[in-house]
Amino acid sequence: MNNIYGGANRYNTKEDRLAILNVYRSKLLSLLKEGFNPFEDNTKRYKEREEGKSNKGQDIGSKTSKRPVDPETVDGSMTVTMPYDEAFKIGLKYKEKLISDTTRRSYENRLKNFLVWIEKNHPEVKDITDIDKKIVIDFLNHILDKTSPRNRNNYRTDLSSIMQVLEDNDIIQSNYIKKIPVLKSVPQRNRTYSQEEQRTIFEHLEKTDETLLLFIKFISYNFLRPIEACRLRVGDLDIKNKRIQFKAKNSPLKTKIIPDILLQDLPDLSKMNKEHSFFTPDGIGGVWDAELSNKRDYFSKRFKRVVKDPFNLGADYGLYSFRHTYITKLYRELVKGSSPFEAKSKLMQITGHSSMKALEKYLRDIDAEFPDDYSELIKS
């Protein structure tokens, strides 16, 4: 059989392609179970099926039922009524095979909050088909009142993703959440540190918290995100070849060099267990049995206690600020001896951005690019 692509290659991400291919797979299996044969002319069988649909529709009439329906008794293209909590469990089960553990926990948490809200505010709702666009909008407005437009949009995205799975598997007729607009939100940005602020913080940490200082140096010198530093195991660092491997935001496994400026600060790892966490609350190399998000939160709180509070730094300064600071510093040094395009090409290899477009957007967001003095151009 020739491969069936069905236009899936038009989608950019692996997740989107798998989603549409899963729909094709479900439909093809349904047709095969009905007796359709890819090696025969199925025109007669198709007409018989359509006539059967029409007859079933007349038999069902206007009757409705809130009881779960046996999917074998209803044509595969019709929706199946089932309790909404069961439907969401099915949607999450299918979805979790395509997402990371961190994303799965995010889905679980938001779904849990949604279900609790429905139970409290709409006790009459029993089945997945009872939940409509109006109910979801009311819930999203509830989240907006309590938190922020960004969080409301995140809830919308996760709920829509689960609903799409339910639509793809004929559990609901359509994913109406896609038609709910995304609200405009201003993202919170971590500010960059001045050279004096960065130097003072490093000097302070040399005396007070060497583990936190090394954690920050991985963010500053290797341009890891805080959560990527939390993922590191001892065995991810190849000291001999000056390489580090880790799971990045845009890649299941990324390899970078360890620059000498960071290499000289690393302890002797030869006698440490390669499976142990590299960073732990008690130092470098050890067992730290905690969720990844909890590890990230731990170092964020430790940074607040050891650095932010003593230096009276505002909410817009954080661990991420060091990544912004050093990428800005590196770009401005690179662009001194080359064109902006050449500088960005070298920078992209170092930072690990997936595309030039992504890097350029990042540089704009952190105000890394400054024009030359234009005073002469506006003199009267």
Q: What is the pLDDT of residues 22-54, one digit of tens each?
A: 777 777 888 888 888 888 888 888 888 778 766
For the cut 60, the answer to whether the pLDDT of residue 327 exceeds it is yes
| pLDDT tens, position by position, 58-108 | 554 444 444 443 343 334 444 456 889 988 998 898 888 788 777 888 899
Distance CA 368, CA 325 (A): 9
Average pLDDT over residues 183-210: 89
Q: Considering only 147-151, 234-238, 279-283, 373-377, which range has the smallest mean pLDDT? A: 373-377
Angle at the Cα of 308 from the Cα atoms of 307 and 311, rounded to 5 degrees: 80
Q: What's the pLDDT score for residue 251?
A: 66
Average pLDDT over residues 334-342: 89
Q: What's the pLDDT score for residue 53?
A: 63
Q: What's the pLDDT score for residue 73?
A: 36
95 and 162 Cβ atoms separated by less than 8 Å? yes
Average pLDDT over residues 147-167: 92
Distance CA 277, CA 269 (A): 12
- For 360, the token pair is 């350029």
> Tokens 């006698």 — which residue?
271
For the cut 60, the answer to whether the pLDDT of residue 285 exceeds it is yes
For the cut 60, the answer to whether the pLDDT of residue 114 exceeds it is yes
Between 6 and 127, residue with greater pLDDT? 127
State whether residue 309 is helix, strand or coil. Answer: helix
For the cut 60, the answer to whether the pLDDT of residue 347 exceeds it is yes
Distance CA 292, CA 57 (A): 51
For the cut 70, the answer to whether the pLDDT of residue 6 exceeds it is no
Model confidence pTM above 0.85: no
The dihedral over CA atoms of 100, 101, 103, 105, expressed in degrees to the nearest 10, equals 160
